[in-house]
Amino acid sequence: MPAPRCPRCDRFVFLDDLVCRSCGADLGFHHPSLRYHLADPAGVEIDGMRWFPCGNRPWGCNWLVAEDAGAGRCFSCSLSRRLPPQSDPVAWEKLAAAGVAKRRLMVQLLQLGLPIVPYYEREGGLGFDLLSSLAEGHPVMIGHANGIITIDLAETLDARREALRVSLGEPYRTMLGHFRHEVGHYYQGVLITDEAGWEECRALFGDERASYQDALDRHYTYGAPEGWRTSFISEYATMHPWEDFAECFAHYLHIRATLDTASAAGMVLDSERAARIVDHDVVPRSEYPDAELMLDDWQWVSLFFNRVNRAMGQHDLYPFELSPPVHEKLGFIDRLIRRGSTA
């Protein structure tokens, strides 16, 4: 996907911008073409249809909605099944913050050509319950069940999320990471379509039919097994084969999004300065034929971004090491996505 640009002045705009920072144009994201158009309350004509600003624009949604969509909510917002009550503006502010991460996820799914069947079209289809622990009065468990992804909006509060990250010993914790992990659970069931696929999956991630409750108890009593780094991407991934798959799926999306962004912006690493042996000229590429080449480039690109972050006194952008077994798991996910893609 080319870097998003303003339809009026052609300058770069961020995926979550409502207004162009250069020329002040009102921006509306047209998800079928993955491009910005002008957002106009009177509607804009795109491919023979009128598109209007999403009804959730006051809450930061910059997507457009087609005239025939009915409810006045864009495709991304239409997938939200349960929300905090409208009478709770504090929860709705958090919803706006979570919406930024959710739309970024949606853009990537569309870009990858992954099938998105809404929950209201088919039992088990994709939907989101976006609820806040602070508003509900009881903890909201982040998770996935039968197509529905539940997100705790309270985690949009930096202090709360960061405290959880530290207490759980995680190298990083973000809203986008939550969305990418949970959608991994959804796509595991969608993209693995036959017994041969499940056998291949079990050979890499373990048998997902193992008791989840036992795994949960074991993980929170004893933690990750010693030496987990040699075959897992994170401590959480060691808990159960379902979690290993979802963690790897999230990382696959992280890696592809970051490489795509760097490549779309025209970034090229100098091979001599990056001190790497080159077998191709341009790192990162705009497309990769397989996961191995992608991960080879990622090693250098992530090292570069980690150096940049340290130059700013920040934590590493990508504080993970990918061992050979993790490469294999990411390769499996890469093949699943390519096979399931309609792009």
Kindly list the residues in this chain that would bind Zn ion in the complex (CB under 5 A).
6, 8-9, 20, 22-23, 25, 54, 56, 61, 63, 74, 77
Give the amino acid at 5. R
Q: Give rounded-to-5 percent helix, strand, coil for the chain.
A: 45, 10, 40
- For 270, the enclosing helix (H) or strand (E) is none
Report how far apart, in Å, the C-alpha atoms of 191 and of each of 177, 194, 332, 337, 338 are: 20, 9, 11, 7, 10
Shortest separation between residue 27's beta carbon and Zn ion, angstroms: 8
d(CA 143, CA 141): 6
Would you say 24 or 319 has its CB closer to Zn ion? 24
Shortest separation between residue 23's beta carbon and Zn ion, angstroms: 3
Shortest separation between residue 310's beta carbon and Zn ion, angstroms: 34
Shortest separation between residue 271's beta carbon and Zn ion, angstroms: 36
Shortest separation between residue 341's beta carbon and Zn ion, angstroms: 24
- For 27, the enclosing helix (H) or strand (E) is strand 27-30
Phi, psi of 64 (to 5 degrees): -100, 155
Would you say 64 or 291 has its CB closer to Zn ion? 64
Would you say 89 or 189 has its CB closer to Zn ion? 89
Shortest separation between residue 137's beta carbon and Zn ion, angstroms: 27
Would you say 54 or 107 has its CB closer to Zn ion? 54
Q: Could you tell me if 340 and 191 are in contact, meaning their C-beta atoms sit under 8 angstroms apart? A: yes
User: What is the spatial order of strands in the sheet that 49-53 belongs to?
Assistant: 44-46, 49-53, 64-66
Which has the closest alpha carbon to 78: 61, 98, 93, 60? Answer: 61
Strands 80-82 and 127-131: parallel
Would you say 56 or 238 has its CB closer to Zn ion? 56
Would you say 54 or 190 has its CB closer to Zn ion? 54
Q: Could you tell me if 255 and 295 are in contact, meaning their C-beta atoms sit under 8 angstroms apart? A: yes
Shortest separation between residue 31's beta carbon and Zn ion, angstroms: 10
Would you say 77 or 107 has its CB closer to Zn ion? 77
